[in-house]
Amino acid sequence: MNTKVIVCDLDGTLAPSKSALEPSMAHIICQVLKKHRFAIISGGSHEQFIKQFLSHLVCEDRYLANLYLFPTNGSACYVFDYEHNLGWKKLYDEQLTVDERKKIKDAFGRAIPASGVVTEEPFGEIVEDRGGQITFSGRGQEAPLDVKSVWDPDQTKRRKIVDLLKLEIPEFEIRMGGATSIDVTHPGITKAYAIGKIKEVLGVSTEDIVFIGDALYSGGNDESAKETGVECVAVSGPTETEKVLAIYI
Closer by beta carbon to Mg ion, 26 or else 235: 235
Query: What is the distance between the alpha carbons of residues 45 and 23, in angstroms, rounded to a whole number?
Result: 22
How many residues contact Mg ion, by CB under 5 A?
Answer: 5
Q: Which is nearer to Mg ion, 21 or 107 (CB)?
A: 21
183 binds Mg ion (CB under 5 A): no
Residue least distant from Mg ion (Cβ): 12
In the complex, least distance from residue 97 CB atom to Mg ion, rounded to whole angstroms: 28
At residue 72's C-alpha, the angle toward residues 208 and 228, to 5°, is 30
Does residue 214 interact with Mg ion by CB under 5 A? yes
d(CA 12, CA 18): 8
128 torsion bin: left (phi>0), alpha (psi -120 to 50), beta (else): beta
Task: Look at strands 37-41 and 67-70 and give their pairing.
Answer: parallel
Closer residue to Mg ion, CB minimum distance, 15 or 26? 15
Q: Which residues pair with 88 in a beta bridge?
A: 80
128 binds Mg ion (CB under 5 A): no
Does position 11 interact with Mg ion (CB under 5 A)? The reply is: yes
152 binds Mg ion (CB under 5 A): no
> Would you tell me which residues interact with Mg ion (CB under 5 A)?
9, 11-12, 214-215
